[in-house]
Amino acid sequence: MTHATIVIGGGLVGMAVANGLADAGHEVVVLDEGDDAFRASIGNAGLAWVQGKGRGAPAYAAWTRLSADLWPEFAESLRAETGIDIEFSKPGGFDLCIGDADAEIRSRKVEALQRQPGGGNGVVMVDRNFVKERVPDIGERVVAASWCPEDGYLNPLLLLRALHRRAADRGVSYRPGVRAERIAPAGGGIRVDARDGTTFVGAAIVIAAGLGNAELCRQVGLNVPVRPVRGQIVVTARQPIFLRHPTSTIRQTAVGSVMFGNSEEEAGFEPVTTGGILARHAERALLEFPRLADAAVVRAWAALRIMTPDGRPVYDRSPTLPNVFVATCHSGVTLAAVHARVLGPALGRGEIPPQCAAFASARFDVPAALGT
Amino acid sequence: MFRLLSAPEPAAGPVTITVDGAACAGLPGETVASLLLRLGHLAVRTSPASGQARGPYCLMGACYECLVEIDGRPGRQACMTEVAEGMRVRRGVP
């Protein structure tokens, strides 16, 4: 009989949860797909982003804010424990408004966020002068912005590496090249069958398999209809540092590269870049920062990110196998700190954290149950 | 630090290029990065963000650390460019 908790998925969500479980004293085995996995964890731009999350969903706003509050300490502990500096910074971020109409729409959204229970996570509208004092190179057409002092960024590749190293240091067993395909009860535990014929038995399972969650969850009676949303990102040659505050579409890395693009396309399982989207990204980037006209583009990529029907996370427990849990979200970077510090230890106690009650998957069943 | 592993083909004559104005003998088929490393030029530029020295690293076009000016065009990848007769290479150009 094993006491291990099996985490299915070795991306940012799975590894953050695995770290939290290990911190709580659990024996953990991580089953991870091969390098041919879609792996949203290595395709994103690395924003640890608070504004824009949780409008109309106070629980999501609060959960995001909790992660933002935990990030500085968590990033520092990763550095201290693994020697890996994930280049975390929380300087506050802007969502720039191009033209008065854009600013008008944005200010209504910000007001709605501020009015909801729990408030707006410090998001406020600011004028052009406020932005220009902090980011002098903004374009002429930037008239205003929403600003959130909680916004930050980090290097997502280094974060994934640091989570893996920290997990290994804490005795987590990492099994690469194992594509979990079936979950079923087995004696007193739960069995996971992999495509290559191997089988693992655990006392508890956490499904954190990104786009693989829909099928694995279906097997344990959970309706988690995640779908791929394609994001395309452009990277320039390294520039002198000019952008110390990220915007919702652009950030500059510690080594000077500028990353931009925030497209969300319904494109199925096709992680390819397209000229039209990349051109639109470039146009937007030039409106925000005209100096980028002289920057060479060195690469671009597309990644499939995970989207739930309402864009919010799902944390839930199987109704048929009570020791099977699912953890999935769109924002594996932003939420990594709260996943490691709060979610992982709670799952280790066999609990969904109380502040996550709103993230149960039953919310997707309501329209069907009502016949609407 | 870097040296040839085997003698060049006897039939292959050297390719004359200039690095920062100085004439150098390249080998047919080698990359500019290879030549720069053989000449001992481990650093070819400085980081625009930190000012630290940077030089050829991945040698396969991925890291963009080996950027030099080639024939008047800045930002060229030395590791992805073959030496050619008369080529002019300049280091230290952002």
Residue of B nearest to A242 (CA): B49
pLDDT at A213: 96
Entry field: residues in chain B: 94
| Spatial CA neighbour of B17 closest among B36, B3, B4, B2 | B36
Final residue of a domain: which of A290, A307, A324?
A307
Mutate to test the interface with B, among A255, A259, A291, A301 (most CBs of B within 10 A): A255
Return the sign of the alpha-carbon dihedral for residues A356, A27, A40, A255: positive
Instruction: Tell whether A102 is covered by a domain.
Output: yes
Same domain membership, residue A263 and residue A145: no
What b/e string do you get for A46-69 counting C-beta neighbours within 10 Å, with b at 16 or more? bbbbbbbbbbebebbbbbbbbbbb
Q: Check: CB of residue A39 under 8 Å from CB of residue A16.
A: no
* Cβ-based contacts under 8 A for chains A and B: 23
Residue of B nearest to A295 (CA): B75
Q: What domain range is A120 assigned to?
A: 93-149
B32: tokens are: 């500019």
Helices A58-82 and A156-169, packing angle to 10 deg: 70
Instruction: Tell whether A67 is covered by a domain.
Output: no
Instruction: Tell whether A299 is covered by a domain.
Output: yes
Q: What are phi and psi of A126, to 5 degrees?
A: -130, 155
Whether A256 and B49 lie within 8 Å, measured CB to CB = yes
Label residue B94 by pLDDT band (50, 70, 90). Answer: low
A362 touches chain B (CB under 8 A): no
pLDDT at A193: 97
Same domain membership, residue A330 and residue A268: no
Final residue of a domain: which of A307, A340, A358?
A307
Same domain membership, residue A322 and residue A211: yes
Q: What are phi and psi of A359, to 5 degrees?
A: -100, 15
CA distance A31 to chain B (A): 29
* Cβ contacts of A237 on chain B, cutoff 8 Å: 64, 67, 75
CA distance B55 to chain A (A): 14
Distance CA A59, CA A355 (A): 7
Segment B76-88 shows an average pLDDT of 96
Same domain membership, residue A215 and residue A168: yes
Provide the domain count of chain A. Answer: 3
B29 touches chain A (CB under 8 A): no
Distance CA A231, CA A340 (A): 25
Residue of A nearest to B49 (CA): A240
B49 touches chain A (CB under 8 A): yes
CATH number of the domain bearing residue A279: 3.30.9.10
Q: Check: CB of residue A20 under 8 Å from CB of residue A339.
A: yes
pLDDT at B12: 72
pLDDT at A70: 98
Exposure of A286 by Cβ count < 10 A (0-12 exposed, 13-18 middle, 19+ buried)?
middle
A357 touches chain B (CB under 8 A): no
Distance CA A294, CA A115 (A): 42
ipTM surpassing 0.85, yes or no?
A: no
End-to-end CA distance of chain B: 25
B67 touches chain A (CB under 8 A): yes
**Residue B32 to residues A278, B28, B56, B88: CA-CA distances in angstroms?**
31, 11, 10, 10
Instruction: Tell whether A250 is covered by a domain.
Output: yes
pLDDT at A369: 55
Return the sign of the alpha-carbon dihedral for residues A230, A85, A21, A337: negative
Instruction: Tell whether A134 is covered by a domain.
Output: yes
pLDDT tens digits, chain A, 372 residues: what are they?
Answer: 478 999 999 999 999 999 999 999 999 999 999 878 888 998 889 999 999 999 999 999 999 999 999 999 999 999 999 999 999 999 999 999 999 999 999 999 999 999 999 989 999 999 999 999 999 999 999 999 999 999 999 999 999 999 999 999 999 999 999 999 999 999 889 999 999 999 999 999 999 999 999 999 999 999 999 999 999 999 999 999 999 999 999 999 999 999 999 889 999 998 899 999 999 999 999 999 999 999 989 899 999 999 999 999 999 999 999 999 999 999 999 999 999 999 999 999 999 999 999 999 999 986 655 655
Exposure of A1 by Cβ count < 10 A (0-12 exposed, 13-18 middle, 19+ buried)?
exposed
A170: tokens are: 């804490």
* Cβ contacts of B64 on chain A, cutoff 8 Å: 237-238, 298
pTM of the entire predicted model: 0.91
Instruction: Tell whether A80 is covered by a domain.
Output: no
B51 touches chain A (CB under 8 A): no
DSSP for A120-181, written as a single string: -TT-EEEEHHHHHHH-TT--TTEEEEEEETT-EE--HHHHHHHHHHHHHHTTPEEETT--EE
Instruction: Tell whether A176 is covered by a domain.
Output: yes
User: Nearest Cβ partner of B49 from A238, A296, A298?
Assistant: A238
**Residue A101 to residues A55, A250, A291, A311: CA-CA distances in angstroms?**
20, 21, 24, 26
pLDDT at B5: 86
CATH number of the domain bearing residue A181: 3.50.50.60
Instruction: Tell whether A342 is covered by a domain.
Output: yes
A40: tokens are: 């949203």
Distance CA B94, CA A187 (A): 65
Same domain membership, residue A301 and residue A231: yes
B78 touches chain A (CB under 8 A): no
| pLDDT tens figures, B7-49 | 777 677 889 999 999 999 999 999 999 999 999 999 999 999 9
Final residue of a domain: which of A149, A165, A190?
A149
Distance CA A360, CA A298 (A): 42
**Residue A371 to residues A79, A226, A368, B8: CA-CA distances in angstroms?**
51, 21, 5, 78
Whether A237 and B47 lie within 8 Å, measured CB to CB = no
| Spatial CA neighbour of A299 closest among A228, A230, A232, A250 | A232
Same domain membership, residue A315 and residue A219: yes
Q: What are phi and psi of A113, to 5 degrees?
A: -65, -40
Q: Where do we find the tokens 């190293």?
A: A165
User: Nearest Cβ partner of B49 from A240, A296, A298?
Assistant: A240
